[in-house]
Structure 1
Amino acid sequence: MGSRGPGRALACCLLLAVACGPVLGHLPPDQRHPQEPEGTQEPPLDHTERAEEEHEKYSPRQDEEPPASRCYRCCDPGAPAYTAVPVPQINITILKGEKGDRGLRGLQGKYGKTGAAGVRGHVGPKGQKGSVGAPGDRCKTYYAAFSVGRKKPLHSNHYYQTVIFDTEFVNLYGHFNMFTGRFYCYVPGIYFFSLNVHTWNQKETYLHVMRNEQEVVILYAQVSDRSIMQSQSLMLELREQDEVWVRLFKGERENAIFSDEFDTYITFSGYLVKHAAEP
């Protein structure tokens, strides 16, 4: 083993020299290019030229790629700069035509929201006194009044009786009808009425002041040994065509009012206090 070692090492070196000759650029004489004579052999390339040759060898599609996607080395000259072509400008003022006709009016828009109320302004100065106006129409005054009496006594029977009056003291415009014993309202408003009677000894006195067919107030006196004057008064708000009158109650009990031909013991009066149209 010790004597064969140097021999084997020498054989390996020779084999490596033969195998690596083409790689290191030293070809045997029989493998060189036939067109290159030995006397005209080009000198070996340095590392820069060899790198450029290999770059051209392994990048055959570089010319086909667009300039923006090519690979460049830092030592290569830069790409030529492109100058932008100026865009032509047109003066619009020389192309402006004449003013056109006015268009049709558009539709009215929607109402906007109501804004908040503004702050109240200051009180302005007092204005000048105006001139005297023309005289107004004369104020129209309304009147209605009556006062009537009865000089005959009246006794009850089996039905209600209207008290008819035979004496007329005041009957303004004839609103009280002496034949029916009723006051007819022609001027609506508030009225005052009063009724006065004289009772009969040992008899009951029982009457009602009526509005239309409704009982409003009563005038009543119990049976007594003495006759007395009895009265009733009230205010009513009447509408036009209302009727006010006095009714004697029917004869369930003996009922009567006293009077005679020499004196008037029974009276019925009324007058307008306020017209309905007045404020």
Structure 2
Amino acid sequence: MYLAIAIQLSIICIIQAAAQGDTQVCSGCCTAPAGIPGIPGSHGNPGGLGPIGMKGDVGVKGEKGNQGSDGRDGLPGKIGPIGLPGATGEKGGKGEKGEQVAPTNSQPKSAFSVGYNVNPGRHPVSPMKYPLIITNVGNHYNKETGKFVCQHPGIYVFQFTSGSTSSNNMVTSIMKNGQRILSAFVTGSGYKSASNMVVLDLVANDEVWTEPLNTSLNYYYSENHIFCSFSGFLLYASA
């Protein structure tokens, strides 16, 4: 449309110049009027950052804002140094007398020593019943049966000594609940003796005694010097 308007204006100028007989090229009359503004172009790409400007003046102090919410708890601080001792307090009043209680960890007691103060001679194969009671703490040795009966479970020590004479032979054994634990043998001429010792772990009502091995090895000799004896004691009670 703009091109058509321009062409029309040019034609008009040519006609006017011919009518006036002007052979010169039309100059001012042929100048076309200002055109209609064109359509705005699209925006260009953003330019680069400019240089940093000068520091501005300090602004006026603003009004105090509202109080913020509480922050999180901080980490625990280091332990401080120990303080000085405080003053001594007043002495308290006298308390009531407590009830006396026997200690619960007292060690139970059990011990005995017995012997023959008469000559036993040829003893049958059965528990030896020592007639002389030297010591019998707790009365756990039974003179009538010749047996020690355990009342306090624990570790016990037992020992015996047996005497014999001439060419008679003798074997004495320590028995526990009918089982032969160990023995001592003696033979030869003249006066002689044999002994042995054992440590046993006993429970309540276990029985321990001494007796000959058999009827051919049961020749004993004793008198008021006590050549035949039997002893035992509790080493420590079970926990």
Bin for the TM-score computed over the shorter chain? 0.5 to 0.7
Q: Residue in 1 aligned with 2:127?
A: 162
Aligned match for 1:148, one of 94, 111, 114: 114
Work out whether residues 198 and 266 of structure 1, in 8 Å CA contact, stay in contact via their aligned partners in 2: yes
Aligned pair partner of 1:193 in 137, 141, 158: 158
Contact 2:154 2:234 in 1 (8 A): yes
Please tell me the residue identity of whatever aligns with 1:258: Y
Give the counterpart of 1:183 among 124, 137, 148. 148
Q: Are the equivalent residues in 2 in contact too, given 1:209–1:245 (CA < 8 A)?
A: yes
Partner of 1:256: 219
Distance 1:228 1:146, change over 3 A: same
Residue number in structure 2 paired with 1:270: 232
Larger radius of gyration: 1
Aligned to 1:226: 190
For the 8 Å contact 1:188–1:275, the answer to whether it is kept is yes
Distance in 2, Cα, partners of 1:274 & 1:155? 36
The number of residue pairs the alignment matches comes to: 143
Equivalent AA in structure 2 for residue 172 of structure 1:
V
Residue 156 and residue 249 in structure 1: after superposition, are their counterparts in 2 closer, same or farther (change >3 A)?
farther
For residues 208 and 167 of structure 2, the distance between their equivalents in structure 1, rounded to whole angstroms, comes to 29
Q: CA deviation at 1:151?
A: 1.8
TM superposition shift of 1:239: 0.6
User: Which structure 1 segments of 5+ residues have no match?
Assistant: 1-123, 126-133
* Letter aligned with residue 202 of structure 2: L
The 4+ residue runs of structure 1 with deviation greater than 4 A are 134-137
> In structure 2, do the counterparts of structure 1 residues 254 and 194 end up closer, same or farther at CA, with 3 Å as the change threshold?
closer
How far is 1:254 from its partner?
A: 5.2
Deviation at 1:140, TM superposition (A): 2.3
Assess if the C-alpha contact under 8 Å between 2:162 and 2:172 holds in 1. Answer: no
Deviations 1:88-120 (A, max 9, x none): xxxxxxxxxxxxxxxxxxxxxxxxxxxxxxxxx
**Superposition pairs of residues 72-111 of structure 1, within 5 angstroms:** none
Structure 2 residues without counterparts, runs of 5 or longer: 1-78, 81-97
**Corresponding residue for 1:73?**
none
Q: One-letter code of the match for 1:163?
A: M
Identity level (%): 24
| Structure 2 residue aligned with 1:115 | none
CA RMSD of aligned residues (A): 2.6
1:164 aligns to what SS in structure 2? coil
Residue 231 (structure 1) shift: 1.0
Aligned-partner SS, 2:168: coil
Hey, what's the Cα distance between the residues in 2 that align with 1:238 and 1:212?
10
SS in 2 for 1:247: strand
1-side partners of 2:102 and 2:148: how far apart?
A: 31
Counterparts of 2:102 and 2:217 in 1: how far apart (Å)? Answer: 58
C-alpha separation in 2, matches of 1:257 and 1:156: 6
2:186·2:193 contact (CA, 8 Å) conserved in 1? no
Residue deviations 1:217-236, cap 9 Å, x none? 011112x1121221111100
Query: Over residues 149-199 of structure 1, what are the superposed CA-to-partner deviations in whole Å (9 max), with x where a residue is unaligned?
Result: 112233447x62221111111101211000100000000000011101112
Q: Counterparts in 2 of 1:49-64, with a 5 A limit? A: none
